[in-house]
Amino acid sequence: MAVKLNSNKKIVETIKEGLKKTGGYCPCRTEKTDDTKCMCKEFKEQIKDPNFEGYCHCMLYYKAID
């Protein structure tokens, strides 16, 4: 399993700015809970699936299948 930052540097920059403004919570979510703290619970659950390949909700991270 390989989790990497999105290769689109503009997206990474935008999301990182949003994370700074929200105190580390996903800038794409309205609620601020432990589940939405970056790296969010949703993506952590997704990357446990060996068949999942794709981006996290805000597209900061990408999981590739080896």
Query: Is residue 66 predicted with pLDDT exceeding 80?
Result: no
Tell me which residue of 20, 29, 44, 34 sits closest to 61, measured CA to CA: 44
How far is residue 58's CA from residue 15's CA, in Å, rounded to a whole number? Answer: 7
Task: Give the mean pLDDT of the chain.
Answer: 95
**Do the beta carbons of residue 37 and residue 25 sit within 8 Å?**
yes
Q: How many Cα atoms within 13 Å fall on the side-chain side of residue 50?
A: 1
Half-sphere exposure of 14 (CA within 13 A, CB side): 10
pTM assigned to the model: 0.89
pLDDT the model gives residue 11? 97
